[in-house]
Amino acid sequence: MPARREDVTYFSLRNEILQKKFRPIYLLQGDEPYYIDQLSDLIVNSALGEDERDFNLTICYGMDVDIRNVIATCKQYPAMSQYQVVVLREAQNVGKAQNKQNVSELNTLKFYAERPLLSTILVVCYKGGSCKSTEFLNAMKKAQSGVVLTSSKVRDYQMPQVVKDYCMSLKLNIDDKSVRMLCDSIGVDISRMFGEIDKLKLLVGASSRITPALIEENIGISKDYNNFELEDALIARDQAKAYRIIDYYKKNPKSNPVVVTISMIYGFFSNVLLLRTARDKTDAGLMAQCGTRSMFRIKKFKEAARTYSTRGCVNIISYLRDCDVQSKGQGSRQDPYDLLFDLIYKILHS
């Protein structure tokens, strides 16, 4: 059996499970509950048919469970099935009801991790942080009996790559404009994002390609009036186009909140400033500095860097901070979208 403490991602583990390549033990931990819940459900649905679950699926909850009973269940053999699945949810609460230490209680699992039953799949779901039960973790590592996935909260700048990775896992093609349209509209709500992509997958047909037109038609995001197009207008210093987009936002405020637009522009010009002041001007160095794996994004930052000076970027970031405060009603009673018009004027004249 190969080593099981390698670095894994949600997508690599998901593909592995879909191929029915199961590990004896899964520790799913971290601050992003969506990944934990999705993988836990996927393991159950992939390992067991509906008619096998009555006798081969055990779900228990940390607040109520005795770890010794979990181990005893794991040592049982499946009934008329290749596997039995034992899911320990809310493992971060193990021991709390009995006033016992969570770390020491979960460490009890080391005795099972040392010699797991290969016909049992144990899934430990630990939300809100990382499991500190080192004896359990070390036993898994030594016996090569399990895999650990730590899921961190996804940041704004990471979402484009998350979208691309998810589309790739579904064998979908998606261009950068479509990625930005989805990210600008949906943000870091992974559950909604993946749900919308799943919906688009049913509509793409033989082309397997997600396009801006498909997104506009089925999700309600305009392909002509969005933050991606606004970014291009600012790079080109196209005042008329930028004002048309802000005017559209003002008429459709629910789909285009001011705070999201300000955040997008702030992130963009922060990266342009980083690019202008970076010591390592290689593409690899710039990608590391800007926190992106997309050469497309680096090209955009370079375009803007040819148009906006370092001093201009510093001034723009200052304007953005002022606009953010004022749009929240501090020091100004102007309509937030009128503030955006003023902001765009200042940016284009920086």
Across the chain, mean pLDDT equals 91
DSSP-assigned letter for residue 19? T
- Yes or no: is domain 10-151 CATH 3.40.50.300? yes
Instruction: Give tens-digit pLDDT for 45-76.
Output: 999 999 999 999 999 999 889 999 999 999 99
At 273, the amino acid letter reads L
Phi, psi angle pair for 223, to nearest 5°: -80, -15
The domain spans of the chain are: 10-151, 154-222, 224-350
- What local confidence, expressed as pLDDT, does residue 228 receive? 87
- What local confidence, expressed as pLDDT, does residue 219 receive? 85
The architecture (CATH level 2) of 224-350 comes to Up-down Bundle (1.20)
Instruction: Give tens-digit pLDDT for 246-303.
Output: 999 999 998 888 998 999 999 999 999 999 999 998 989 998 888 887 888 899 999 9
Q: What is the percentage of the chain residues whose pLDDT exceeds 90?
A: 69
- Yes or no: is domain 154-222 CATH 3.30.70.1060? no
Q: How far is CA 132 from CA 137, 267, 268, 299, in A?
A: 8, 35, 38, 42
**How many helical (H) and strand (E) elements, i.e. helices and strands, does the chain have?**
18, 7
Q: What confidence category does residue 14 fall into, taking pLDDT thresholds of 50, 70 and 90?
A: very high
- CB burial of residue 269 (10 Å; 0-12, 13-18, 19+): buried
Nearest to 151, CA basis, from 314, 265, 38, 62:
38
Q: List, in sequence order, every residue forming a beta bridge with 60; answer none if it has no partner.
A: 88
pTM of the model: 0.73
Instruction: Give tens-digit pLDDT for 308-344.
Output: 999 999 999 999 999 999 988 887 778 999 999 999 9
- What local confidence, expressed as pLDDT, does residue 115 receive? 93
- What local confidence, expressed as pLDDT, does residue 6 receive? 55
Instruction: Give tens-digit pLDDT for 168-179.
Output: 999 999 998 899
- What local confidence, expressed as pLDDT, does residue 147 receive? 93
Instruction: Give tens-digit pLDDT for 243-256.
Output: 999 999 999 998 88
Nearest to 184, CA basis, from 216, 152, 140, 139:
216
Q: List, in sequence order, every residue forming a beta bridge with 124; answer none if it has no partner.
A: 27, 88
The pLDDT of residue 41 is above 90? yes
Q: Which residues are CB-neighbours of 24 under 8 A, at least 6 positions away?
A: 116, 117, 118, 120, 121, 122, 145, 146
Instruction: Give tens-digit pLDDT for 125-153.
Output: 999 999 999 999 999 888 888 999 999 88
The pLDDT of residue 25 is above 90? yes
Nearest to 27, CA basis, from 102, 142, 130, 120:
130
Residues 48 and 11: their CA atoms lie apart, in Å, by 21
Residues 256 and 338: beta-carbon distance below 8 Å: no
Residues 195 and 5: their CA atoms lie apart, in Å, by 30
The percent of the chain in helix, strand and coil, each rounded to the nearest 5, is 60, 10, 30
Q: Which helix (H) or strand (E) holds 217?
A: helix 212-219
Query: Which of 187 and 149 is assigned the larger pLDDT?
Result: 149
In the numeric block, which tokens belong to residue 237?
Answer: 């210093």
- What local confidence, expressed as pLDDT, does residue 47 receive? 97
